[in-house]
Amino acid sequence: MTTDDELVARAREACDRAYAPYSGYDVGAALRTRDGTVFRGCNVEMVTFTNTIHAESGALGAAVAAGHREFDAVAVSSAERDGVTPCGLCRQTLAELCDDDLRVLCDVGDGIEEWTLGELLPGAMSGDEVPTDEDSE
Ligand code: THU
Ligand code: ZN
């Protein structure tokens, strides 16, 4: 199993590949599955801005495409090593498939600031709150 420091190192590698010509703010994420596989994502900015892919979303998409749906930790790193946390959109995105106890490891350069997803997004909206077709049958 990767250590926390190794997971942050993987996020840094992804950060090095970020495509952020508009903001200049490079971000990488490394998402670890419960079986220890690591998937990475980086931000990919679009000239139209709103369809920009965030690092955490990219990592989650790569993991799901490879057949994984259970996660225990995500590391996030910006080139500034400023301890960036997942933005609000990414918090809700992670909450789709990750539990409140997902460990969120934020890179502050000479260390890690650790959160849980539940701390970053208390009371996240869940699919349980959305009526489905089955509810109306
Ligand atoms: N960004 C991420 O990739 N993840 C976050 O959760 C924070 C923001 C990216 C999006 C955009 O390309 C740049 O950082 C500035 O907001
Ligand atoms: Zn985001």
**Residues within 6 Å of ligand 1 by CB:** 20, 23, 25, 27, 43, 45, 52, 54-56, 84, 86-87, 90
Which protein residue's CA is at the shortest distance from atom 4 of ligand 1?
54
Q: Please give the Cα distance from 38 to 33 (Å, whole number).
A: 6
Q: What are φ and ψ of residue 54, in 5° steps? A: -85, 155
Type and span of the H or E element at 64: helix 55-65
| Ligand 1 atom nearest 22 alpha carbon | 12
Q: What's the confidence (pLDDT) of residue 31?
A: 98
Q: Are 26 and 43 in contact (CB under 8 A)?
A: yes
Query: Scanning the structure block, which residue is given the tokens 């980086």?
Result: 42
Residue 98 lies in a domain: yes
Residue 127 lies in a domain: no
- Between CA 48 and CA 84 the distance in angstroms is 23
Residue 132 domain-assigned? no
- Specify if 58 maps to a domain: yes
The pLDDT of residue 131: 86
Tens digits of pLDDT across the chain (137 residues)? 899 999 999 999 999 999 999 999 999 999 999 999 999 999 999 999 999 999 999 999 999 999 999 999 999 999 999 999 999 999 999 999 999 999 999 999 999 999 999 999 999 999 888 888 878 77
How many angstroms is it from 127 CA to the middle of ligand 1? 25
Q: pLDDT value at position 52?
A: 98
- What confidence score (pLDDT) does residue 58 get? 98
Question: How many structural domains is the chain composed of?
Answer: 1
Beta partners for residue 74, in sequence order: 31, 104
Kindly state whether residue 27 falls inside one of the protein's structural domains: yes
Structural domain boundaries enclosing 53: 4-121
Residue 59, φ and ψ in degrees, nearest 5: -65, -45
Residue 97: Cβ within 10 Å count: 15
CATH code at position 65: 3.40.140.10
Q: What is the pTM of this model?
A: 0.96
C-alpha of residue 133 to centroid of ligand 2, in Å: 30
The pLDDT of residue 136 is 79
pLDDT of residue 114: 98
